[in-house]
A and B are shown apart, each in its own frame.
Chain A
Amino acid sequence: MTAVLEIQGLTKTYRARGGPRRALDGFEMYVEAGQVHGFLGPNGSGKTTTLRTLLGLIRPDSGDLRILGRPVPAELPQVIAHVGAIVESPQFFPHFSARDTLSLLADAGNLPQSRVDWALELVGLRDRAKERVKTYSLGMKQRLAVASALLKQPKLLILDEPANGLDPGGIREMRDMMATLSAGGMTVVLSSHILGEVQLICDSVTIISLGRRVAAGPVAEVLQAHSSGQVRVALETAADLSAAAQVLVAAGMQLQAHADHLMLTGVDKPALVARLLAERQLYVSELAPVHADLESVFLELTGTAPVPGQARQVDQSVKPDTAQDGVSA
């Protein structure tokens, strides 16, 4: 598959009062055509800086960026017609209506005005299009922002927190819309903190922490790579748990005993557990591999899992010593 988006060795340092702050430190990212790609990272990890750099709003210190195979920002004017984007919170003139807002953008992009109605219909703002944006809720502004990004009918759609402020129905609509757009051949880069959503809709992910990539690849592979191989074992009779534990430890397995189950780690073949116990007339009632979810992988990789009694600061996350550790690296 061809890469729609390629980033290599991207660095950006901001001048700040407390001294220079490196927002991006050799960051890499690849997004293939037709995918919905999740772009994840804790606050202050460099997600928005990356997206702004791609869109020519921020000048990088170094790095190679390509959109649809063309280097940016050098050839951004030639490729921008194929890129729709919303970055951070939606910002519009409060006294303009949604229709005016989109109509002016359509003029600026030399697009037919008929696209305005199409985009408004798509995001569900058709009946409120004549109202001033200042009367809109955050969710409605978010829909308008998505409409503005879709107006170009782009090949690459970059959405930064598109579900922010949306109601549950709106979130599902957004998910369905992204699936539909992706099925139609559009590539979507989705930055979001709603990791359950990302896991549901994304084909692949890139996780960034303190300006470096900590994981990347298809969602299933990232989850598999960071799954602990844990297996939960319960017996028909809870009183047999200690006997079962002795059998398994004797077989070289590591486990943690709980009141009603055992938690085994590093188990390659769960069937072996059942066979070992059955030989001693210990019968399992539950034998379930514990699957990692994206949230736990994210918290583990970025080191941002909350610790009771501690207030984590925004820059307290994991920065890999060697950049670009991940599934695809």
Chain B
Amino acid sequence: MSLVRAERRRFFKRRLIKWLVVVGVVILGVIATAVFFDNQKVSAETLASAEAKAEAEYDFAMADFQRQLKACQEVPSGNVKPEYCQWVESGEQPQRDWYRAEYYMPSTFVFKGQFEEMIVVWAAIMAVIAFVIGASFVGAEWSTGSMSSLLTWRPKRMSVLGTKLAVLVGWLTTIAVVTGGLWTAALWATAVYRGSTAGMTPGTWQSLGLTGLRGLGLIVAIGVLGFALATLGRHTGVALGVALAVVVVGQVGLTILLLMLRVPYPEMYLIPTHLQAWMSKVVQVSNPFANPADCMGGQCVEQVKSITWQDTGSITLGAIVVLLVLAFWQMRRRDVS
């Protein structure tokens, strides 16, 4: 327990970690503030004004349609008609449904409809911060020589690394829960004062809660990934370098390679697709290289595959477990020189 206490204290004594948490909170705060001021509460007057504007736009469109129809009908036979006549004379006149009042209303924050995508924003920002924290928590220990010093106090290497990992997971969960709570509160307040909280049934809350849990899982998983890479490389910079290489060079290069090799469903192999699948529960990817023989009678049926959050979760969990096993094995075997 003494090592747990020491590592818990060490976590928040690190200046970089403190600054990263502050930066994360500030970024979330700026976004929440912008969302707050960018939205307005819908009043009866606003709604009436929007409806009037929609009606006026519809009337104008109808009048324009009638004018164009008349103009087309008056073109002497034998003369070339303007292009729009083909559409106008087909009889497809503007529909009232095309001019809904909501299209003419100022932006308003509807919690039920918009909070889920804001959970993704929170998870993405905190995941990046968690990666750097995870990498730095163990990487800086190696690069400054503190790990070597600590091992002369606690020679059980597996126990030392395991404790550090457990403390990291604990703190990342705490940070994610606290920032997630603040994020929810800020956006709930935005909905109350600048939008609507209508329709929030227990089922809706449950659905949002599950999305939040997947966000929490993403944050912790990315943090652990940073930890494992920095342990393997014994330096924070190694984890950051690998991340940069995989995300930027790897993904761009892989996309080009997949397209060149005409691999079916190329998006299936890209990280953003899986991030989307994890947070949105399911994502569909299409095959741009479908066999023309699949097109029946001139109607091509698009070939699609679904990637579920369970698929992505299994792949990610597998990758993290493999990296952690390698990190612990290397910690056990390699000399500290």
Interface residues of A (CB under 8 A from B): 52, 55-59, 73, 76-77, 80, 83, 85, 87, 91-96, 100, 103-105, 107-110, 148, 152
Closest A residue to B5 by beta carbon equals: A107
- The CA-CA distance from A274 to B243 in the complex, in Å, is 83
The interface residues of chain A lying within 8 Å CB-to-CB of B148 are: 57, 87, 91
Across the interface, do B144 and A58 meet the contact criterion of CB distance under 8 Å? no
Across the interface, do B146 and A91 meet the contact criterion of CB distance under 8 Å? yes
Q: What 1/0 mask marks residues of chain B from 309 to 337 whose CB sits below 8 Å from any chain A CB?
A: 00000000000000000000000010111
The interface residues of chain B lying within 8 Å CB-to-CB of A58 are: 335-337
Across the interface, do B151 and A56 meet the contact criterion of CB distance under 8 Å? yes
3 closest cross-chain pairs (CB), A and B: A91-B145, A107-B6, A110-B2
Q: Among B9-17, B91-99, B220-228, B261-269, which stretch is in contact with chain A?
A: B9-17
Closest-CB distance, B329 to chain A (whole angstroms): 14
> From DSSP, what is the main secondary structure of chain B's interface residues?
helix
Across the interface, do B337 and A52 meet the contact criterion of CB distance under 8 Å? yes
Do A92 and B144 form a contact, CB below 8 Å, given A58-B336, A58-B337?
yes
Q: What 1/0 mask marks residues of chain B from 136 to 169 whose CB sits below 8 Å from any chain A CB?
A: 0000100011101111111110000000000000
Q: B3 on the interface (CB 8 Å rule)?
A: yes
29 A-B pairs whose Cβ atoms sit less than 8 Å apart in the complex: A52-B335, A52-B336, A52-B337, A55-B151, A56-B155, A57-B152, A77-B155, A80-B154, A83-B152, A85-B152, A91-B144, A91-B145, A91-B149, A92-B144, A92-B145, A92-B146, A92-B149, A93-B140, A93-B146, A95-B14, A103-B9, A104-B13, A107-B6, A108-B2, A108-B150, A109-B2, A109-B153, A109-B154, A148-B149
- The CA-CA distance from A177 to B9 in the complex, in Å, is 32
Give residues 281-303 of B contacting A (CB, 8 Å): none
Across the interface, do B140 and A104 meet the contact criterion of CB distance under 8 Å? no
- The CA-CA distance from A148 to B156 in the complex, in Å, is 19
Partner of A108, one of B3, B144, B336, B337: B3
- The CA-CA distance from A281 to B48 in the complex, in Å, is 136
Across the interface, do B335 and A80 meet the contact criterion of CB distance under 8 Å? no
- The CA-CA distance from A135 to B77 in the complex, in Å, is 94
Across the interface, do A108 and B152 meet the contact criterion of CB distance under 8 Å? no
Across the interface, do A57 and B336 meet the contact criterion of CB distance under 8 Å? yes
Other contacts beyond A55-B152, A91-B145, A96-B13: 17, CB < 8 A: A52-B335, A52-B337, A56-B155, A57-B151, A57-B336, A58-B335, A59-B333, A73-B155, A76-B155, A77-B155, A80-B153, A85-B152, A87-B152, A91-B146, A95-B14, A104-B13, A107-B9
> From DSSP, what is the main secondary structure of chain A's interface residues?
loop
Partner of B13, one of A87, A100, A148: A100
- The CA-CA distance from A91 to B140 in the complex, in Å, is 12
Do A108 and B153 form a contact, CB below 8 Å, given A57-B148, A58-B337?
yes
- The CA-CA distance from A107 to B5 in the complex, in Å, is 7
Do A108 and B154 form a contact, CB below 8 Å, given A57-B335, A95-B15?
yes
Partner of B2, one of A87, A91, A107, A152: A107
- The CA-CA distance from A55 to B157 in the complex, in Å, is 12
- The CA-CA distance from A221 to B155 in the complex, in Å, is 37
Across the interface, do B144 and A80 meet the contact criterion of CB distance under 8 Å? no
The interface residues of chain B lying within 8 Å CB-to-CB of A96 are: 13
Do A93 and B155 form a contact, CB below 8 Å, given A57-B337, A58-B337, A110-B2?
no
Q: What 1/0 mask marks residues of chain B from 1 to 43 whose CB sits below 8 Å from any chain A CB?
A: 0110110011001110000000000000000000000000000
- The CA-CA distance from A105 to B7 in the complex, in Å, is 10
Partner of A104, one of B9, B144, B336: B9
Closest-CB distance, A153 to chain B (whole angstroms): 13
Closest A residue to B159 by beta carbon equals: A77
The interface residues of chain A lying within 8 Å CB-to-CB of B151 are: 55-57
Interface centre among B3, B13, B149, B151 (most CB of A within 10 A): B149
Closest A residue to B1 by beta carbon equals: A110
Closest-CB distance, B167 to chain A (whole angstroms): 12
Closest-CB distance, B150 to chain A (whole angstroms): 6
Across the interface, do B144 and A94 meet the contact criterion of CB distance under 8 Å? yes
Closest-CB distance, B147 to chain A (whole angstroms): 9
The interface residues of chain B lying within 8 Å CB-to-CB of A55 are: 151-152, 155
Do A59 and B335 form a contact, CB below 8 Å, given A108-B6, A110-B2?
yes
- The CA-CA distance from A104 to B141 in the complex, in Å, is 13
Partner of B153, one of A59, A87, A93, A105: A105
